[in-house]
Amino acid sequence: MGSGEYSRDQRYLATRITADGRDGYPVEPGRYRLVVSRACPWANRAIIVRRLLGLEDSLSMGVCGPTHDERSWTFDLDPGGRDPVLGIERLQEAYFARIPGYDKGITVPAIVDVPSGKVVTNDFARITLDLSLEWTALHRPGAPRLYPPELRAEIDEVNEVVYRDVNNGVYRAGFAGSQEAYEEAYHRLFDRLDRLSSRLESRRYLVGNTITEADVRLFTTLVRFDAVYHGHFKCNRSKLSEMPVLWAYARDLFQTPGFGDTIDFEQIKQHYYRVHRDINPTGVVPLGPDAGGWLTPHGRDSLGGRPFGDGTPPGVASVSGR
């Protein structure tokens, strides 16, 4: 690893919730709580997939506030600053219930076993796949196939490079500790975005002709790009809105039920600009950019494809989003 290069801690609680309960946690409606923050791109994946699959009534959702301190995410959006289901003020409490003194990252998304109050998993990459593969008995009628068997190898291949160069690439640029590390991450990011743009010139979605897990994973970075990564993380060769193909692709997804209705730009900006004081010492949160452009026509329909395949869109999002 080069000097000053940012490295993400990838030590997660990898216990899985499965249909057969082989890890000790069987899929059960109402037993678990998905804890997220709307600010976090990794948690945003789980929010989107939960909604697309119609799991709202089976898997409740606790929403942390957009900021946190070194100890943990907090439930400051809830009355009294306490999650109404878990009864805790800090997500840290659910981690400590599982492993006393847990010394790795207290991250979202996390799925908590409500009866015991213990975190089951915070393995964000596996969580969304298992929602697709293991929770099928609880999916809504018409739920899309986000990880179909015939496309999994290609989805995995796309996800690998998108994670390395884009999802985590913006962080590698933003948290670089040297000019050399920053420039390497910057070039890898925009080289990959250029390749993705070429890929999407003639196809509506990344893999196949419907929305898949690959689109969910790219979207959560793209939707934060102009509001946060362009300036805050110095990813400033181009704004998303200056990359025509990716901008149209992202708007297409944003306007698809289950995507844009999970986004809160104010919470996104509050998180990055207030928490990362080493990058933004004043904690001042920018007022822009204007989010109105996300609702402008995208013209991607002309490429064909059907967002939900043989399925249907999810219903109207609840006011609370819970």
- 121-131 average pLDDT score: 98
Q: Which of 13-22, 96-105, 291-300, 312-321 has the lowest mean pLDDT?
A: 312-321
- Which of these, 289, 278, 308, lies nearest to 229 by C-alpha position? 289
pLDDT of residue 236: 98
**Which residue in 12, 102, 163, 171 is the catalytic one?**
171
pTM: 0.96
> How sure is the predictor about 9, in pLDDT bands with cuts at 50, 70 and 90?
confident
CA separation (Å) from 192 to 27, 32, 170?
A: 37, 37, 11
Residue 282: phi and psi, rounded to 5, are -75, -20
Q: How far apart are CA 294 and CA 95, in angstroms?
A: 37
pLDDT of residue 317: 80
Q: Is 247 annotated as a binding residue?
A: no
- Which of these, 143, 128, 119, lies nearest to 308 by C-alpha position? 143
Q: How far apart are CA 30 and CA 87, in angstroms?
A: 16
pLDDT of residue 47: 98
State whether CATH 3.10.50.40 applies to domain 32-138: no
Q: Are strands 32-37 and 60-64 parallel, antiparallel or unpaired?
A: parallel
Alpha helices in 65-151 (DSSP H): 92-98, 124-133
Q: How far apart are CA 281 and CA 19, in angstroms?
A: 47
- 158-163 average pLDDT score: 98
Residue 40 bears catalytic tag: yes
Q: How far apart are CA 69 and CA 132, in angstroms?
A: 32
Residue 171 bears catalytic tag: yes
- 122-129 average pLDDT score: 98
In the chain, domain spans? 32-138, 149-303
**Which residue in 40, 64, 95, 273 is the catalytic one?**
40
Percent of the chain residues past pLDDT 70, beyond the cut: 97
How would CATH label the architecture of 149-303? Up-down Bundle (1.20)
pLDDT of residue 64: 98
pLDDT mean across residues, the chain? 96
> How sure is the predictor about 4, in pLDDT bands with cuts at 50, 70 and 90?
confident
